[in-house]
């Protein structure tokens, strides 16, 4: 487990997303997660939806299923699933993301968006058929509690699917110091686990672990696209430079973090996996 050397909590995660809200949506859109390139020729907008499609297949989501989306971002995944006849409850800690999600279909009762910390949620026990987490587990201060909450709210037989940024097994001290620890700190992630760490978390929480698939090769194209779009914005939009060179901007270092992540994927320091498990 690679840990950030900065004390982080859910409030700092929310602040990160709130402060960078404009940039996330302008650079990447309403899906705040990697794209999945199957042929390499897809447009980014198609690639992000392909990742959701994969999650839905792994979760075996059927119409009428009760789904909990942990760390829902702007609600794009939740809306995709709700439009297919599922009943979705979607959680985020970011007020900016929450208000944007609620504004998209204000008259709709599905998805139901909740502004709260997953580790302190009051959702009823055994109330969901599926729990999904697309790149939110990294932000959890207490990983065992994150898994325990999923186990609590799932019915027996319910499925838990996670997409996660991962550290290489037995990463070197240099990789930790120059890449993984800064990515954690700058991306407001208390820690980044390995695939084996995650398997242990599943099993210790009482899940039946099924499999993990390494999608690194299929998702890493996300970061050169984001980096180039940011550079384009820097050239065209004065607000980019104003934010980047304002010493009071608390998350401006993320412009550098994008390059760290790109490099980390390319040399194998970071991996990306999708995990599947179910409750007994």
* Cα 85 from Cα 27, distance rounded (Å): 30
According to the model, what pLDDT value does residue 112 have? 98
Read off the pLDDT band of 228 (50, 70, 90): very high
Query: pLDDT tens digits, residue range 197-220?
Result: 999 999 999 999 999 999 999 999
CA distances (Å), origin 229, targets 50, 222, 223, 235, 240: 21, 11, 10, 10, 11
**pLDDT of 3 higher than 90:** no
Residues of the domain holding 166: 2-279
The two three-digit tokens of residue 24, written as one number = 């996330």
pLDDT recorded at residue 4: 85
Supply the CATH number for residue 219's domain.
3.40.50.150
The average pLDDT across 223-244 equals: 95
Percent of the chain with pLDDT over 70: 100
Tokens of 262: 């790109």
pLDDT at 148 over 80: yes
**Chain-centroid distance, C-alpha 65:** 22
pTM, two decimal places: 0.96
State residue 6's pLDDT score.
Answer: 80
pLDDT of residue 136: 98
- Whole-number CA gyration radius for the chain: 18
Determine the pLDDT at residue 243. 94
Sheet holding 128-134, edge to edge: 112-115, 87-92, 66-70, 128-134, 154-167, 270-279, 207-214
- 3-class secondary structure per residue, 156-197: EEEEEEEEEEEECCCCCHHHHHHHHHHHHHHCCCCEECCHHH
Average pLDDT over residues 259-268: 97
pLDDT of residue 7: 80
Query: How far is it, in rounded angstroms, from Cα 189 to Cα 104?
Result: 28
For residue 182, give Cα distances in angstroms to 15, 63, 192, 261, 263.
Answer: 18, 42, 11, 10, 13
Query: Within its chain, how far is the Cα of 103 from the centroid?
Result: 21
Report the number of distinct structural domains present in the chain: 1
According to DSSP, the β-strands at 270-279 and 154-167 are antiparallel
Judge residue 252's burial from the number of C-beta atoms within 10 Å of its C-beta, 0-12 exposed, 13-18 middle, 19 or more buried.
middle
> What is d(CA 10, CA 190) in angstroms, rounded to the nearest whole number?
10
Sign of torsion over alpha carbons 80, 81, 85, 87 = negative
Segment 14-23 shows an average pLDDT of 95
Residues 70/59, Cβ–Cβ less than 8 Å: no
Q: Count of residues for the chain?
A: 280
What integer pLDDT is reported at residue 5 of this predicted model?
75
CA neighbor of 67 nearest in space, from 161, 202, 205: 161
User: What average pLDDT does this structure show over 136-161?
Assistant: 98
Whole-angstrom distance, CA of residue 191 vs CA of residue 189: 5
Question: Please, what is the Cα angle at 151 between 145 and 55, to 5 degrees?
Answer: 100
Peptide bond into 111 cis (omega under 30): yes
Mean pLDDT of 245-251: 93
Query: Residue range 68-97: average pLDDT?
Result: 98
The confidence score (pLDDT) of residue 208 equals 98
> Tokens 């992630």, residue?
189
Token couple for 20: 């960078």
Going by their DSSP bridges, the two strands 87-92 and 112-115 should be labelled as parallel
Residue 156 pLDDT: 98
Answer for the pair 205, 277: CB distance below 8 angstroms, yes or no: no
For residue range 107-120, what is the model confidence (pLDDT) as tens digits?
Answer: 999 999 999 999 99
């Amino acid at each position: 487990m690679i840990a950030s050397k900065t004390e982080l909590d859910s409030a700092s995660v929310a602040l990160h997303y709130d402060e960078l809200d404009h940039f996330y949506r302008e650079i990447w859109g309403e899906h705040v997660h990697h794209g999945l390139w199957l042929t390499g020729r897809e447009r980014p907008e198609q690639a992000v939806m392909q990742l959701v499609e994969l999650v839905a297949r792994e979760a075996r989501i059927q119409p009428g299923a009760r789904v909990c989306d942990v760390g829902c971002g702007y609600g794009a995944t939740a809306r995709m699933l709700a439009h297919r006849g599922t009943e979705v409850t979607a959680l985020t800690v970011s007020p900016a993301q929450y208000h944007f999600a609620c504004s998209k279909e204000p008259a709709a009762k599905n998805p139901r968006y909740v502004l709260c910390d997953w580790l302190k949620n009051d959702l009823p026990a055994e109330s969901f058929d599926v729990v999904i987490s697309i790149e939110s587990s990294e932000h959890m201060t207490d990983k065992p509690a994150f898994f325990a909450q999923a186990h609590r709210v799932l019915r027996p037989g319910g499925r838990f699917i996670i997409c996660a940024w991962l550290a290489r097994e037995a990463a070197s001290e240099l990789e930790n110091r120059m890449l993984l620890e800064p990515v954690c700190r700058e991306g407001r992630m208390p820690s980044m686990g390995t695939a084996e760490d995650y398997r242990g978390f599943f099993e210790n929480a009482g899940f039946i672990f099924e499999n993990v698939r390494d999608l690194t090769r299929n998702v890493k194209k996300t970061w050169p696209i984001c980096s180039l779009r940011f550079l384009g914005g820097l050239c065209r939009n004065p607000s980019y430079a104003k934010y980047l060179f304002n010493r009071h901007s608390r998350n401006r270092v993320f412009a550098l973090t994008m390059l760290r992540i790109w490099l980390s994927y390319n040399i194998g320091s970071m991996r990306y996996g999708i995990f599947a498990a179910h409750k007994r």
